[in-house]
């Protein structure tokens, strides 16, 4: 009888020990933790990395550089990232994509750092990125282009511009007054001086005294007027010739 009780007591103690052993080996829900929490159930801070530029990169002063960051948080995305340059604020980013543009105005060595903050107020910092800014290459001076001189002869100064003053010009047959005025307008549109002249020099060739003519000019010398003959011919006046005032030049 005593032996039976002893065996029953041992069996009960063994069952109790097994129960505690199993309970000790099985983690509780508090030990597992909810998603987004650490093993102790505490929210972890965000992480941030500066992806570009690369560490020890060399860039040119005055040239824009894109700064790209990547950030994670166990509860989603960080609520913001602050970027500093040599410890001074450079940019504040509030949402993805986490990137900005930096245009260095000075040369030298610079340190970029980023700090991400989550909705719980926790923050995480990136490793520093060292950047060297070198001066922009000097621009080579452009060769100076000399302006082309106009091939159009300009009128020489005349000592007297009155109605009775003599002048040189490239004279062309005008026909009627309307035709002469139209021809003068065409010459002026081409960029040359022109005027309409009425002369009675060829009275014997017309039913009535006088004839209308077009004159490219006035010019002060015969050589200036002579130089305008190709222009007159290109505008359709093949009969153009140099003439002084109202006197027809013959032989020279």
Asked if 178 and 129 sit in the same domain, the reply is: no
pLDDT at 41: 61
Asked if 62 and 117 sit in the same domain, the reply is: yes
Burial of residue 69 (CB within 10 Å: 0-12, 13-18, 19+) is buried
Please tell me the total count of domains within the chain. Answer: 2
pLDDT at 162: 36
Is there a domain that residue 126 lies in? Answer: yes
Asked if 66 and 113 sit in the same domain, the reply is: yes
The residue among 83, 118, 134 that closes a domain is 134
Is there a domain that residue 20 lies in? Answer: no
Asked if 112 and 57 sit in the same domain, the reply is: yes
pLDDT at 71: 93
Chain centre distance of CA 67: 21
Residue length of the chain: 252
Is there a domain that residue 68 lies in? Answer: yes
The residue among 134, 154, 187 that closes a domain is 134
User: 34-38: long-range contacts (C-beta < 8 A, 24 or more apart)?
Assistant: 36/74, 36/75, 37/74
Is there a domain that residue 193 lies in? Answer: yes
| Token representation of residue 202 | 């060829």
Asked if 109 and 173 sit in the same domain, the reply is: no
Q: Domain residues for 175? A: 168-244
Chain centre distance of CA 52: 24
pTM of the model: 0.42
| pLDDT tens digit sequence for 114-162 | 999 998 899 999 999 999 999 988 777 666 655 554 454 444 433 333 3
Q: Which residues in the chain come in under a pLDDT of 70?
A: 1-41, 141-165, 200-210, 245-252
Residue 54 belongs to what H/E stretch?
none
Is there a domain that residue 150 lies in? Answer: no
| pLDDT tens digit sequence for 101-120 | 999 989 999 999 999 999 88
| DSSP for 15-46, written as a single string | HHHHHHHHHHHSPPHHHH--TTB-TTSPBPPP
pLDDT at 21: 43
The residue among 78, 110, 134 that closes a domain is 134
| DSSP for 90-143, written as a single string | EEEE-SSS-EEEE---S-EEEEEEEEEE-TTS-EEEPPPEEEEEEPPPPPPPPP
CATH of the domain at 87: 2.60.40.10
116 Cβ partners below 8 Å, 6+ apart? 46, 47, 48, 71, 73, 78, 80, 81, 123, 124, 125, 126
pLDDT at 15: 52
pLDDT at 83: 95
Is there a domain that residue 37 lies in? Answer: no
pLDDT at 215: 86
Asked if 173 and 129 sit in the same domain, the reply is: no
Is there a domain that residue 29 lies in? Answer: no
Query: Radius of gyration (Cα) for the chain, nearest Å?
Result: 50
Asked if 52 and 128 sit in the same domain, the reply is: yes
Asked if 124 and 51 sit in the same domain, the reply is: yes
pLDDT at 178: 86
Is there a domain that residue 3 lies in? Answer: no
Asked if 80 and 126 sit in the same domain, the reply is: yes
Helix (H, G, I), strand (E, B) or coil at 208: coil
């Amino acid at each position: 009888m005593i032996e039976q009780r002893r065996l029953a007591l041992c069996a009960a103690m063994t069952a109790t020990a097994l129960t505690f052993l199993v309970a000790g080996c099985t983690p509780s829900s508090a030990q597992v933790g909810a998603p987004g929490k650490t093993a102790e159930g505490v929210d972890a801070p965000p992480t941030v990395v500066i992806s570009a530029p690369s560490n020890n990169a060399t860039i040119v002063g005055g040239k824009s550089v894109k700064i790209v960051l990547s950030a994670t948080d166990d509860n989603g995305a960080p609520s913001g990232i602050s970027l500093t340059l040599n410890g001074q604020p450079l940019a504040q980013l509030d949402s993805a994509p986490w990137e900005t543009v930096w245009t260095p105005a000075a040369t030298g060595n610079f340190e970029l750092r980023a700090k991400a903050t989550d909705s719980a107020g926790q923050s995480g910092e990136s490793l520093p990125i060292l950047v060297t800014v070198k001066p922009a290459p000097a621009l080579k001076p452009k060769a100076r282009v000399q302006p082309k001189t106009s091939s159009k002869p300009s009128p020489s100064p005349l000592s007297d511009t009155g109605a009775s003053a003599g002048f040189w010009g490239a004279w062309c047959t005008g026909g009627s007054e309307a035709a002469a005025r139209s021809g003068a307008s065409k010459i002026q549109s081409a960029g040359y001086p022109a005027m309409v002249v009425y002369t009675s020099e060829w009275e014997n060739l017309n039913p009535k005294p006088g004839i209308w003519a077009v004159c490219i000019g006035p010019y002060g010398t015969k050589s200036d007027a002579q130089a305008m003959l190709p222009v007159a011919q290109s505008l359709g006046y093949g009969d153009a010739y140099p003439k002084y005032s109202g006197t027809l030049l013959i032989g020279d």
